[in-house]
Homo-oligomer: A and B are copies of this chain.
């Protein structure tokens, strides 16, 4: 007999789980990363629009939002915070299903947890469970779903948000099965919105879906508990491959979430491998005579602007970001990318000594950097974004990024709350800078 995926995921999402040290630490790091990109994203226009709309709706003051001291009802906080934290496109990514787990799940979990006064440790565990559910659903839907045009962050993410919110609301296994079945009728989000405000809004929709559905089920709402599968289920209607082995294999024993990637540079993803390779070399000025970047040919049409003069242009320019790093500008910071930096004579002089070459023996996540120093020494480094990092390195890098985005004091305070024994509200209060 075919397993009912709603029921299997509901069993996982409502029972005690055995976590690993890696899963726990990476969840806390993703929470810090999510808070940092949310706080930094709060000044984006789309974030301001969502805040304004939900502040006009008003309502029970239970959950905090990014960029304001006002509290909102959990559903409203979820749509605001999901949208806000994805506004910079600087949040974490899980490459197995190609989705951003944090931005759908943390907003749902934290909003519900604040209303229920849960301890932080429960929020993190529920978020881990929810993000694992979203990754598993994403793998179940498979590449066909993504390639047809669905935004997994939103579609698979909605199931994860429901699981996290439902776990914190104490749904029974049967209730959770109904909640996941009901999510099948609401989960939505198209890649057609990429490049518009619609992309971050997709994440907000997923978060709000999880909160609303979990709340309705606590009040007795009953849905089709098997609406993901079957002739008219979510898989069939949404071009899913329905790969049950990928979805359920090792569920509860291994945490696929451990492989989540964090972004460490506030620019186009195509530039990241070259910037990581540069970390392994000494390219600080004024020693560098010449530099050559080798990268997959696909990126040359995406992020190889030779001499941009705006901050946005800099985010799509190998030569600019490498010159920025050589001159000591932090590529993790948003404000490093500016017209002023592009106009610096020292940056322009170095930039013009950097060459970019296509090399399709490299994968799209790899780059090779060759440096010729003025003292005649040649150096070379290759980096693959998929190469594993040690836990200590991941912690260091995420904390550095958070500090670059929101300042050391704020980042460290959040990290202390995440490591300590506080409650959801302690984290919620840190969402706005004041």
Contacts and interface: CB of A to CB of B under 8 A. Distances in A.
A18 interface: no
Contacts of A220: 45, 49
A234 interface: yes
Nearest to A238: B237
A241 to B, nearest CB: 15
Contacts of A57: 59-60, 73-76
A11 B32 CA distance: 46
A76 B60 CA distance: 13
Most buried by B among A76, A154, A237: A237
A55 B191 CA distance: 34
Nearest to A191: B232
A65 B295 CA distance: 59
A148 B58 contact: no
A215 interface: yes
A310 interface: no
A197 interface: yes
A358 interface: no
A221 interface: yes
Interface stretch (A122-130, A223-231, A252-260): A223-231
Nearest to A73: B57
Interface string A64-77: 00000000011110
Interface in A174-196: 181-182, 184-193, 195-196
B223 A196 contact: yes
A352 B201 CA distance: 60
Contacts of A74: 57
A188 B209 CA distance: 12
Contacts of A202: 185
Given A149-B232, A216-B50, A219-B52, A237 B198 contact: no
Contact of A56 (B60, B223, B231, B232): B60
Given A232-B191, A233-B149, A198 B216 contact: no
A236 interface: yes
Contact of A197 (B76, B201, B223, B227): B223
A231 B219 CA distance: 40
A190 B232 contact: yes
Contacts of A184: 190, 192
Nearest to A61: B58
Contact of A193 (B195, B201, B223): B223
B219 A201 contact: no
Contacts of A237: 148-150, 190, 238-239
Given A197-B221, A197-B223, A222-B196, A185 B185 contact: no
A198 B219 contact: no
Contacts of A73: 56-59
Contacts of A205: 185-186
Contacts of A212: 53
Most buried by B among A56, A57, A75, A233: A57
A188 B185 contact: yes
Interface string A399-421: 00000000000000000000000
Interface of A: 45-46, 49-50, 52-53, 56-60, 73-76, 148-151, 154, 181-182, 184-193, 195-198, 201-202, 205, 212, 215-216, 219-224, 227, 230-234, 236-239
18 contacts: A49-B219, A49-B221, A53-B216, A56-B73, A57-B74, A148-B237, A149-B236, A185-B190, A185-B198, A185-B202, A186-B188, A186-B189, A190-B227, A192-B227, A192-B230, A192-B234, A193-B224, A197-B223
